[in-house]
Structure 1
Amino acid sequence: MSFERDLVSPEPEGDERAIEAALRPRRLDEFIGQGRVREQLSLVLESALRRNRPPDHVLMSGGPGLGKTTLAMIIASELGAPLRMTSGPALERAGDLAAILSTLTEGEVLFIDEIHRMARPAEEMLYLAMEDFRVDIVVGKGPGATSIPLDIAPFTLVGATTRAGLLPAPLRDRFGFTAHMDFYEVAELERVLRRSAKLLSVELPDEGAYEIARRSRGTPRIANRLLRRVRDFAEVRAEGVITREVAAAALNLYEVDAEGLDRLDRAVLDALLRKFGGGPVGLSTLAVAVGEEPETVEVVAEPFLVRQGLLARTPRGRVATATAWAHLGLTPPPDAVGSAAAPTLFDDA
């Protein structure tokens, strides 16, 4: 059994980055959501501009699709500085990073996506570059190797990570400003959708925006993706107007339910409830039951199900909550997790 994850995957699919580029806000005051981060970041940038110096290095953490790359672009735009973009997996050797750092101009913004996936040699070179704006280039090998210090132009590093816990402490401590990106509320996603609909010349009444927003899993990238699919449905079957009924019909067709769950999510819950009586059940056994790899269930489906309070990870295995039973229209047993009679079992397994 194979499940299509494109619609509700927070990761960009195919040429989606090009489509996203047309919808990205260009300035900080255009960015929707993340109010505390925006306010803090505006102070950091304004202070730097007044001092005529590059701002502190910035680290942004949070799930994919929440706007980390967009904020990196906005930082460069607000500073009036060039932006250089790369990713952690692309920096396999110290030389890869040295080649980038040595060509930076003064004040340039360097954005490293998935910074926790950098190779260790490049990471260690980055420590010195962030603190002293210098790198040491090793020439030769063995006893005859020589280290040549190379000054680099003052720059601002913007790092983005979906797994902040994997960042080594020495690297994390070198960032002067750290921001955590939260999942969006439905009202914030409605604003994102209305802005995107205007840019896409789509007629989107408020009730249509609400219906899409509530199924978007708290993620702007997913909201914009669903909007494009609903737009296609509306143009073919509803004269182009996305009412609440049209949005619901379109997303039901694409198998995204009212809570944002897709086929894989529901298959995991269905197996857990109907085949294993709500659990506890081991991850591998659950994965076999839905015909997927354990990593797919753990990384793709579980985070959202846990966040929605539909599934719990316990020392004995995965357990469905009383909310999960209700979501599938089933009667939960008296001891279901989350019910009044149930013990507390929400410890990570």
Structure 2
Amino acid sequence: MTGGVPEGPGDDRWGSDGGWDDGSLDATARVVDADSSEEERRIEAALRPRRLTDFPGQQRVRDQLGLVLEAARRRQAPPDHVLLSGPPGLGKTTLAMIIAAELEQPIRITSGPAIQHAGDLAAVLSSMSEGEVLFLDEIHRMSRPAEEMLYLAMEDFRVDVIVGKGPGATAIPLELPPFTVVGATTRSGLLPAPLRDRFGFTGHLDFYSTEDLVKILTRNATLLEIEADPAGVEQIASRSRGTPRIANRLLRRVRDWAQVHGRHVVDLPAAEAALDLFDVDARGLDRLDRAVLEALCQRFGGGPVGLSTLAVAVGEEPDTVETVAEPFLVREGFMVRTPRGRAASPLAWQHLGLTPPQGSPGAGAGSQDTLPLSGDVGRFSG
């Protein structure tokens, strides 16, 4: 074993699933969605940029992170711990792997839900090598005991291993070599302040512009050996919610449609036909998004309506509506969150081709003044 990375079955810490027995993974065993096929995993790994200069978009974060890494290289010391926040699919995991590649160090990958006890984290930390990168995905979901152990490990590079129980318990300090923690979170507000303050650099990833997504799709089409027309690529990018993960998924679905229909070029007609088949409209709304808007407008007169009631109307869990559909609908101006619940905007009525009833929140001439807004926008009930 070299550099703290398990070399395979010959290493007694290497698990049967291609990772470490403590539950963490090497970068080559990156876990994606549970229902992803082996082919999907291979494609996702192949499409990831491997250097910071190849990472598209996120110019401010990329420049800041490049400065941090270059300074660390010149000092010949591990860089400060890095926290990456932002919605899913924007490249937090890819940046973590790029950090390790730029530092020429191995990377260990685990997640907050996998670390439910302090002992789980101690097992990971005790096997770290000097300079290694520890990537903690969904770090806000770690258990409180593990968080408290991580405080000490990040600041003083040691952990206290408790031996025994009760009055006879003894804390044995275990010194750790310097390493770098890269945390990723979709909900940075849930991180305790003491943990958040221990990260020397915090980068927030924003949604991508259509131009940046076109660059990503053009590059990935070449890697996947897909012949793509610029107009077709732009159509896919414009319907991808500003998210590279969604853009790559739609690119593969359009490719599938083109191949099945004997059209081996991803052009504009192929992109439009395929995306319509998969219920992705011209504004990027999918089936769930439209179901939420239709329920708001047709069943509840534009709202306001509580989240739980809205979720029942579309046959989904409240968490699904709140975390999957709502952020995009609010960001694009189709829906607003008010103290009394969710309400449809004039844009939602217009997009569905409906006429709002008189007196409804969307009945005005497209003005935001007609919405049930107040100084408490952002807080909501239900």
1:334–1:342 Cα contact (<8 Å) kept:
no
Query: What's the offset of the Cα at 1:25?
Result: 0.5
Structure 1 contact 48–54 (Cα < 8 Å) conserved: yes
Amino acid at match of 1:99: A
1:266-303 CA-to-partner distances (Å, cap 9, x unmatched) read 11111111111111112222222212222222222111
Q: How does 1:101-250 map to 2 (within 5 A)?
A: 101-250=125-274
Contact map agreement 1:334 1:341 (CA 8 A) in 2: no
Q: What amino acid sits opposite 2:317 in the alignment?
A: E
CA distance in 2, matches of 1:92, 1:347: 32
Shift of 1:344: 5.7
Q: Paired residues, what number?
A: 340
Structure-to-structure mapping, 1:24-63, within 5 angstroms:
24-63=48-87
- Once the 2 structures are TM-superposed, how far is the Cα of residue 20 of structure 1 from its aligned partner? 0.8
State which of 358, 366, 370 in structure 2 corresponds to 1:342.
Answer: 370
Check the 8 A contact 1:59/1:160 in 2, yes or no.
yes
Unaligned ranges ≥5, structure 2: 1-31
1:127 alignment partner, SS class: helix
Q: Percent identity?
A: 68
SS of match in other structure, 1:123: helix
Q: TM-score when scaled to structure 1?
A: 0.94
Distance in 1 of aligned mates of 2:194 and 2:65: 22
Q: Deviations over 1:100-132 (max 9, x none)?
A: 111111100000000001111111011111011
Distance 1:99 1:44, change over 3 A: same
Residue 238 (structure 1) shift:
4.5
Aligned to 1:288: 312
CA distance in structure 1 between the partners assigned to 2:227 and 2:299 by the alignment? 44
Q: Distance in 1 between matches of 2:165 and 2:245?
A: 47
1:239-287 deviations in Å (ceiling 9; x for gaps)? 2101111101110011110111111111111111111111111222222
Task: Give the 3 Å change call, closer, same or farther, for CA 84–341 of structure 1 in structure 2.
Answer: closer
State the distance in 1 between where 2:130 and 2:306 align.
Answer: 53
Match of 1:20 among 44, 55, 65: 44
- Residue 112 of structure 1 aligns to a residue whose secondary structure is strand
Structure 1 residues 36 and 341: alpha-carbon distance in aligned structure 2, compared to 1, 3 A threshold: closer
Q: Which amino acid aligns with 1:339?
A: S
Task: Give me the whole-angstrom Cα distance separating, in 1, the residues matched to 2:166 and 2:278.
Answer: 60
1:61-87 Cα offsets, whole Å, 9 max, x none, are 001110000000000000000101100
SS at match of 2:153: helix
Task: Give the structure 2 partner of residue 279 of structure 1.
Answer: 303
Higher mean Cα deviation, 185-194 or 294-303? 294-303
Partner SS, residue 274 of structure 2: helix
Cα displacement string for residues 35-80 of structure 1 (whole angstroms, at most 9, x for unaligned residues):
0000000000000000000000000000111000000000000000
- Greater shift, 165-174 or 12-21, is seen at 12-21
Instruction: Give me the whole-angstrom Cα distance separating, in 1, the residues matched to 2:65 and 2:241.
Output: 25
Larger RCO, structures 1/2 (Cα 8 Å, 6+ apart): 1
Contact 2:82–2:181 (8 Å) recurs in 1: yes
Report the Cα distance in structure 1 between the residues aligned to 2:35 and 2:241, rounded to whole angstroms.
Answer: 17
Is the alpha carbon distance of 1:189 and 1:11 closer, same or farther for their aligned partners in structure 2, counting shifts above 3 Å?
farther
Shift in Å at residue 18 of structure 1?
A: 3.4
5+ residue gaps in structure 1? 1-9
- Name 1:88's counterpart in structure 2: 112
Instruction: Name the SS for the 1:84 alignment partner.
Output: strand
Cα RMSD, aligned residues only: 1.6
The Cα shift of 1:206 comes to: 1.1
3-state secondary structure, aligned to 1:295? helix
Aligned equivalent of 1:66, options 90, 108, 111: 90
Distance apart, 1:340 and its partner CA:
5.5
Amino acid at match of 1:76: A
